[in-house]
Amino acid sequence: MSFTPELIAELEVLALFNLDSSQEGIKIHANASPTLVAAAKRLHDKQLTDQPDGGYLTSLGHDAVESVQLLLNVLKSPQPA
């Protein structure tokens, strides 16, 4: 499986969520980039969020964001020489 531009956009949207508060959602405004608007809609279609413009994470979405954050932390951590 390769990372398509669509999947990367979905990962970028998921990375916007703050897992420190289950009461904090996101809003992708209609004037945001068409790529992010479409990614937010796809995440809703996949039942990761409760609204097509972001909203709150579902249980599955919460698990996905945990994975995204773990991956970002691994890839951003300094590597031994």
pLDDT in tens, 63-76: 999 999 999 999 99
Helices (H), 1-81: 5-14, 34-45, 59-76
Q: For residue 78, is pLDDT > 90?
A: no
Q: How many C-beta atoms surround the C-beta of residue 56 within 10 A?
A: 15
Q: List pLDDT tens digits, range 11-51.
A: 999 999 999 987 899 999 999 999 999 999 999 999 999 99
| Tokens 């508060």 belong to residue | 21
